[in-house]
Structures are given as structure tokens and as C-alpha cells.
Amino acid sequence: MRCDHCAQDSPDGVFCTRCGAHQGTTLESGSAKTREHRYAAHPAEHVAQPSVFTTLFPHLGHNKIHEFRWAFIAGLAGVLLLYVAGLITAAILVSALLVPVLYLIYLYEAQVYRDEPAIVLGFTIGGGVVVGIVVTLFERVIYNPFQYFPSPFGGAGISVGGVLILGLLIPVIQEALKPIPAFFLPNRADFPETVDGLVFGVAAGLGFSVAETLIGFSNTLANLPPHVAPGNWIYDLATLAIFQPLLQGSATGMIVATIWRFRRGRLGGREIGGIAMAVIAHVAFSTGTVLMKDAGINPLFILVWQAVVVGALLIYIRYLLHFSLLEEAAHMGFAETICPNCHMHIVASGFCPNCGMALSAAPTSVRRGRRPHTEPAAKAPAKPVAKKA
């Protein structure tokens, strides 16, 4: 079969295994070449779907995604139980660690670090923790959140200078410093793909988030009695467990993914827009939160605002990664393998001919299982194999 879009020979299939373009004449929406209705890392989803796990955990197949979703929900239920029981200190600790620990399990599960777990984890999560400690201690020196200026409008009475520092200066400083550990990863040449950069950036951002939360709440953790009346803590806990780590992880993930793109010689509008989007989203998140808290607005609206910002950030990451996966599809040679997404036995180069998944986003174990295919690539029937339960 000859692909309509890249004019290369490829095995019969719904998708071209070389360029990933959709081949069918079926009436699916959108362009066949950019196939935005089939996100390259998870073809069952549209690119513009703000889903957390398929975006920030791109190497996981269907079943694993569900396991991680359930683990996350169980963790949130645990935070809720601790809150209801009045164990706020424990709830803060679980909230701060929930997403970072899930990410650590993911890195292990997908073996994203291949043969170098110590170096990769040290320079991503570990580096993020170190940057988080340094930056958060520095922030405490330049701005002490407990010195409020009296305000005629009531509320906490934060000054204009305070809003500028908390809402603008600190987010920009953080976004400039958080990617540094991943940037200096010594063996980064072994991880050339943008999807690797994204994952390393998310890991660094989550390491930062742990340090920031634990230092930021150190007074509370030290002074709060272990058992108190639950009060209004639930809103802060939701921010700490869900939106703060997702913001810190995805913003740095996007910036490091852009650095990886730049190293491959690609720095177009989409990449520069990615850096701008990460910084703007962080500023919008922090400024909005500070101003709404100060104005005494219903905390539920603050959570909605944080969710909207994080959702927009996730969608931008998916566009960046989708087009990176389509553009970076080098010819990996035709190999027999099992697609981690649709579980078909396939003969493929860069993309699964059956479901269109970009195989550069496959877990390391699947990549290592590729066996070179010597026969002519023309006959490559996709045979279903027994699905795992």
C-alpha cells in the first residue's frame, strides 16, 4: 500500500505506519494527515480532551491508565477521610505526596528511564525537590505572607505589591528555574524524543511541588495540633492534592518538552507558544487565586478557576506532543510487535497501522520486544491476540 500523504510504502492498515496519517475513506471528522480526532499517544481520544492521565502519563496503555485513575481516586478519598476525621496535618502530607508518588510509580512502570533509573530520577524528581527547597526559602525572604497591610475593603487586605510578587514575580521565577535539573540531565542524548522531555519535565515539576508544599505549610504542620475541627480546610486540600501539583508538573513538562524540541532543531510558533502558555497559565493560576481569596469569594469558584487553567494547559500540551509525535516519526524499521494500545499483533514502523498510536510513546518493555521483520512489509495482516483481562 502506498500512503496518500507521505507517498511511502507501508503495510495495509487504517493508519500509515510511517507518517501516522489516517488512510481510510470513512467519514471521520478532521484532516486525515493531522488526525486531531486521534491523539497520537492515545488514539481513542481527541487531542483537545483535557484528560489528566493520558496527557501527563503518555506511556500507559488503557488498562494501566484505569489502575492509575483508581489509585488517584482512592488517594483523594483517603484525604477526604482524614479531613472528616479532623486529621488535617496528615491530610496535608497525603495531599502533597499523592500525585508525585503516582508519578514515581509510573516512571517505574513504563521504565521511561530505561537503564539509568538513578541518574534520571535524581536529575528530574530529585533536582525538582532541590530547586523547590531553594526557591521556596528564597520566596520567604522576599515576601512574608503574614505581614499584611491593613485594607479598607476588609478581607485579608493584601497589598498591590503583594499581588505582584505572589501572582506574577514568583510564578515567572519558578517557571524559569524548575526546568534546570532536567536541562542538565547528563545522559539526555539517550532520550531524544519530545515525549521523554515532557515526562522528565513533569517529574521535575512534581518534585518542586512537594518541596514547595511541605516548606510552605511547615508552620502549619509544626503548629497545628494533630486533631482539629475540619473547618474550611477541604478547599485548600483540593488545591494541594490536585491542582497545585498538576499545574507545577504540566507547566514544567511543557517547557522541558520545548527544550527537547529545540535540541532537535525545531522551535516554531507552537513551541514558543508552549513556553508562553506555561508562564501565562501559572501567572493566571496564582494571581486569580490570590485575588479571589483576598476578595472573600466562595472558595468553590477558586477551585473552578484552577481547574480551568490546568485544563487549558493540558490541552496545549496534547497539541504540542501530538504534532511532535507525528513529526518525529523516524523510520524505526519494520518490526513485529504488539501494540500497547489496541493489543494487536502488528508489523509496524513508527505508528500502529491499526489504531494509529505513535510507538515512540510505547513503554520501554514494548520497544525492547520489537523483532526486526525481514519479509516485505506489504503483507502485514493485523491479527487480534488474546487481550489481557
Would you tell me which residues interact with Zn ion (CB under 5 A)? 3, 5-6, 16, 18-19, 21, 339, 341-342, 352, 354-355, 357
CB of 364 to Zn ion, least distance (A): 17
Q: Give the three cell numbers for residue 133.
A: 527547597
The answer to whether the beta carbons of residues 341 and 352 sit under 8 Å apart is yes
Residue number, 255 or 382, with CB nearest to Zn ion: 382
Residue number, 19 or 281, with CB nearest to Zn ion: 19
The answer to whether the beta carbons of residues 201 and 186 sit under 8 Å apart is no
Q: Give the three cell numbers for residue 255.
A: 517547557
Rounded Cα gap, residues 172 and 196, in angstroms: 24
CB of 361 to Zn ion, least distance (A): 11
CB of 36 to Zn ion, least distance (A): 16
CB of 6 to Zn ion, least distance (A): 3
CB of 362 to Zn ion, least distance (A): 10
Helices (H), 126-243: 127-142, 160-164, 170-177, 180-183, 194-216, 218-223, 233-238
Residue number, 3 or 313, with CB nearest to Zn ion: 3
Cα 132–138–144 angle (5° rounding)? 115
CB of 63 to Zn ion, least distance (A): 14
> 337 — alpha (psi -120 to 50), left (phi > 0) or beta?
beta
Residue number, 16 or 313, with CB nearest to Zn ion: 16
The answer to whether the beta carbons of residues 107 and 199 sit under 8 Å apart is yes
CB of 355 to Zn ion, least distance (A): 3
Residue number, 40 or 339, with CB nearest to Zn ion: 339
Residue number, 158 or 339, with CB nearest to Zn ion: 339
The answer to whether the beta carbons of residues 38 and 49 sit under 8 Å apart is no
Rounded Cα gap, residues 100 and 212, in angstroms: 13
Q: Give the three cell numbers for residue 305.
A: 478557576
CB of 38 to Zn ion, least distance (A): 11
Residue number, 259 or 357, with CB nearest to Zn ion: 357
Q: What is the DSSP string of 214-253?
A: HHHTHHHHHHS-SS---TTHHHHHHIIIIIHHHHHHHHHH
CB of 41 to Zn ion, least distance (A): 12
Rounded Cα gap, residues 64 and 61, in angstroms: 6
Residue number, 102 or 342, with CB nearest to Zn ion: 342
Q: Which residues in the chain belong to E strands, given as ranges?
A: 335-338, 344-348, 371-372, 383-384
Residue number, 285 or 351, with CB nearest to Zn ion: 351
CB of 75 to Zn ion, least distance (A): 30
Residue number, 5 or 293, with CB nearest to Zn ion: 5
Residue 147 CB contacts under 8 Å (≥ 6 apart), including other chains: none
Rounded Cα gap, residues 18 and 9, in angstroms: 8
The answer to whether the beta carbons of residues 10 and 352 sit under 8 Å apart is no
